[in-house]
A and B are shown apart, each in its own frame.
Chain A
């Protein structure tokens, strides 16, 4: 498939936003049951929620560049019964509204205590909103990844690993950013976020690596023989029925060399996994914000390459009909 940067930025940016919000909410809910100490509502929960919201807005903005008719985007909520894309279109704004409410409650001091247990556990109203938003982040990860995983013709995508990878890569980048934020605004939570970021990034290494191994061994279900219905081992296309290309030749192929794809593959395998892991480990030990921020930025750049490769590697069966590009 042709990797469109609008979709690459959409999926990576909302992945970070969702992951960061999940991290902030994890810290907040741990504090409610006194597993960690409670943090300043504005400096940490509020700022964290705001940054997550900005990433979600960035992703939504990028998605509009993918649409031919962005003014009709509201119509895309109509077919949620059958279309995962439609479900994503509903869940993403819903998540943004919930994160906005959560963040506003922190900044404007609108939070109220709903219940205090004898042992001192405190249930805030913002925690209820946060639970709803956290659920929405998981639903959104599933919606986004199922858009790809449900297309059975694209065998590289039609696999449970696609869903797992979107979930793990998004939360890994979000927790890495949360670790950087914690080192600046909530040093007590640095170890919590740093260690979770290391665990998730390491898990994602195995699941993404697993999908690379799987995709390298795929045997195409459709062949030239089934495409035109002629039984012969040697079939060669002589004409695509056009002179200068069409959408079919532009939208379904990356138009890059195999060597370029290999470079991108190894780049993201290094930038997303080992480099951030080393920086996270050193950042957690030293408490340096710049090292942790570096880990996030390098991992995010790696994720752009990862998403580019995700699209470029997908081989659509329609390409059997368009071979003389």
Chain B
């Protein structure tokens, strides 16, 4: 079994929205038709998007941190939006686990949006059908594209490589190894939806300097100019490393 998915590294995402615009650009120009924008230059612009980058502030001033959080359909392994669909327009592909909507069958009843805890589906206010991330299914299998470009538009657009794409069921794939080794997690695991997309947490790189690393007991300068400074109490780093 294959389960294609995205792994999004929150440690690297800078919140530039390049994934949002490239997603909209690719999918609004696709064979499935445009993605409606209403009032795009007016006071309250609104429209259909598959992917959005949200921003959260964690903590309280002055100890705060900004988190940019891209969110799209998580292509759940046990997708709750699929069984509720009355027409069968919403389905999960057997061959690669992508959750898709058949725009020709959808009646626009919105029941699937109620059944998605992540708010990943948006109705197209013009075409009146439900739309959602397709993992660029019209792109990843397109053999007219060079192999390196057979990836979702958002993955290719990300300037910091915060988005990885691959098969999370293959234990040796890049995404599986990353999830395993970098602490990849799922959103709202409490509902048992088993999202395929994973997020990598923020990781801090900290330098730990100990006192004895700042003071060299056997500094050669000391040897030549002044006398030895005398015995240093306790064990120093140099006792174990210098010869």
Residues of A at the B interface (CB closer than 8 Å) are: 1, 66-70, 72-73, 75-79, 82-86, 89, 147, 150-154, 221-222, 226-230, 232, 234-248, 251-252, 316-319, 321-322
Contacts and interface: CB of A to CB of B under 8 A. Distances in A.
A282 B116 CA distance: 48
B119 A321 contact: yes
B114 A154 contact: yes
Contacts of A66: 109-110
B107 A234 contact: no
B159 interface: no
A242 B58 CA distance: 20
Contacts of A1: 114
B203 to A, nearest CB: 13
Contact of B114 (A72, A151, A241): A151
Contacts of B118: 317-318, 321
Interface in B53-91: 53-60, 66-67, 69, 71, 80, 83-89
B30 interface: no
A153 B91 CA distance: 20
Nearest to A86: B86
B219 interface: no
B150 to A, nearest CB: 27
Given A66-B109, A153-B117, A242-B49, A229 B201 contact: yes
A312 to B, nearest CB: 14
A76 B87 contact: yes
B44 A244 contact: yes
A222 B192 CA distance: 12
B86 A89 contact: yes
Among A78, A79, A317, the most chain B Cβ lie within 10 Å of the Cβ of: A79
B191 A152 contact: yes
A321 B72 CA distance: 12
Given A228-B69, A246-B46, A70 B107 contact: yes
B108 interface: yes
A28 to B, nearest CB: 33
B185 to A, nearest CB: 5
A251 B39 CA distance: 18
B59 A82 contact: no
Q: For the complex of A and B, list the 6 residue pairs with the smallest distance between their C-beta atoms, beginning with the closest.
A: A68-B108, A68-B128, A318-B119, A241-B52, A244-B44, A86-B86
B33 to A, nearest CB: 14
Contacts of B44: 243-245
B157 interface: no
Contact of A322 (B113, B119, B187): B119
Given A69-B106, A318-B119, A232 B58 contact: yes
B129 interface: yes
A244 B39 CA distance: 9
Nearest to B53: A241
A24 to B, nearest CB: 30
Contacts of A234: 58-60
A85 B109 contact: yes
B117 A318 contact: yes
Contacts of A319: 119
A192 B138 CA distance: 64
Interface in B91-146: 105-111, 113-119, 122-123, 125, 127-129
